[in-house]
Amino acid sequence: MKHVIWLLLFGVFSPGFSQDNLRSFLLVGIEFTERVASKYTEPMTEGIVYGLTGGWYNSAKVLEPWDIRVSIVSNGSFVPSEKETFLIDIRDIPNLNIAQNDSGIAQIPTILGGDTELQFIATRDGEQFEFTAPEGIGLIDLNLLPNAFLQLKIGLPKSTELGVRYFPKLNIDDIGLEIWGLGIQHQISDWIPPLQDSKIAISGAVAYTTLLGEYNFVTDGFVTGNNQKIDAKLDSWLFELIGSTKNPVFNIYGGLGYVLGKSSVQLEGTYVIETNTETLSFTDPFEVRNTVEGLRANIGASVTVKWFGINLDYTVQGFNNLSLGLNFKIK
């Protein structure tokens, strides 16, 4: 069950990231460890930020005042192949070597990549510590980074619709996470006389989604300490112009918009490494921040029969996205 949660909602805290593999780099300093962590996590946080913008709408026609639609939305962001690995250069780190590699440069998986047997050897006051490079969560074959949540929309007066999405805080083993978001959509075409009675609707939408998560891991190996955990916060903003047909049953829709997002991944707690001659101690070692922005365009189709509907759309953006929605209308 734990790995299902990783894969579906919060791969940022995969076991490869959270256990000894990354913490062991503290032997050679916080600055280098933070550099590795940034390259390692950046593709995942970027993919999640883009993925959280999916599924906010399936029509430019807003609900009638006080009508309600409840949806189950699932998104899948396609992982570009270049996001599966990154190069690490340790030639400027005098007390770190790569086993069976004299070049000082190696390719290791990002968190979206696969397994690795690459070994590092850190030397501290003549004492050697050997550890494996961080591993990915194995999305290479699937090539898809999914997420899912519940979404509710309610029609308001003045051709406006309010949306709320939510995944309640869930704690499984050492993992905790939640998703929530708020969006508003306004039907511009209702204010344009030539379009008021046409079969085309045009809307503008603004939406915000955030994902909060934490991973508390067991202290083991040569890195000891207390209260060791990772906290993460990912925020995404969507600004979109939407167009659609407004037929009773089958409709097509599309949008052109812009994504703004940011992420913060913090390594918290105390980390202690005992060598033959000294004790290294770190408290709340670092925070990795990334930002995301870019254009997006999507196209989709929906089918509605009485109170039930289904929609599917594809979005071209930094991480292309496929979104599926099951929609239940309540008067």
- Three-state SS across the chain? CHHHHHHHHCHHHCHHHHCHHHHHHHHHCHHHHHHHHHHHHHHHHHHHHHHCCCCCCCCCCCCCCCCEEEEEEEEEEECCHHHCEEEEECCCCCCEEECCECCCEEEEECCCCCCCCCEEEEEECCEEEEEECCCCCCCCCCCEEEEEEEEEEEEECCCEEEEEEEEEEEEECCEEEEEEEEEEEEEHHHHCHHHHCCCEEEEEEEEEEEEEEEEECCCCCCEEEEEEEEEEEEEEEEEEEEEEECCCCEEEEEEEEEEEEEEEEEEEEEEEEECCCCEEEEECCEEEEEEEEEEEEEEEEEEEECCEEEEEEEEECCCCEEEEEEEEEEC
Select from 226, 238, 265 the least CA-distant residue to 111. Answer: 265
How many CA atoms lie less than 13 Å away from 225 in the CB half-sphere? 26
- Contact call for residues 17 and 84 (beta carbons, < 8 A): no
In this prediction, residue 142 carries a pLDDT of: 63
In this prediction, residue 173 carries a pLDDT of: 64
Rounded to 5 degrees, φ, ψ at 114 are: -115, -150
Q: What is the mean pLDDT of residues 189-204?
A: 93
Q: Tell how strand 119-124 and strand 96-98 pair up.
A: antiparallel
In this prediction, residue 177 carries a pLDDT of: 78
Q: What is the mean pLDDT of residues 58-77?
A: 94
Per mean pLDDT, which of 45-54, 85-94, 289-298 is the most reliable? 289-298
In this prediction, residue 224 carries a pLDDT of: 82
Instruction: Kindly report the average pLDDT of the chain as a whole number.
Output: 86
Lowest mean pLDDT across 65-69, 81-85, 132-136, 291-295 = 132-136
Token duo for residue 152: 């509710």
pTM: 0.86
Which residues, in sequence order, are CB contacts of 116 under 8 Å at separation 6+?
A: 108, 109, 132, 133, 134, 135
Select from 178, 179, 200 the least CA-distant residue to 189. Answer: 200
Which tops the pLDDT comparison, 203 or 166? 203
In this prediction, residue 141 carries a pLDDT of: 62
Distance CA(78)–CA(139), nearest Å, equals 10
Q: What is the mean pLDDT of residues 38-55?
A: 89
Q: How confident is the model at residue 276 (pLDDT cuts 50, 70, 90)?
A: confident
- Contact call for residues 28 and 122 (beta carbons, < 8 A): yes
Which tops the pLDDT comparison, 84 or 142? 84
Q: How confident is the model at residue 140 (pLDDT cuts 50, 70, 90)?
A: low
pLDDT digits 0-9 by tens, 99-122: 888 788 888 888 888 788 888 888
In this prediction, residue 106 carries a pLDDT of: 85
Is pLDDT at 185 greater than 60 in this prediction?
Answer: yes
Distances (CA, A) of 221 to 215, 216, 224, 272: 18, 16, 7, 11
Is pLDDT at 216 greater than 80 in this prediction?
Answer: no
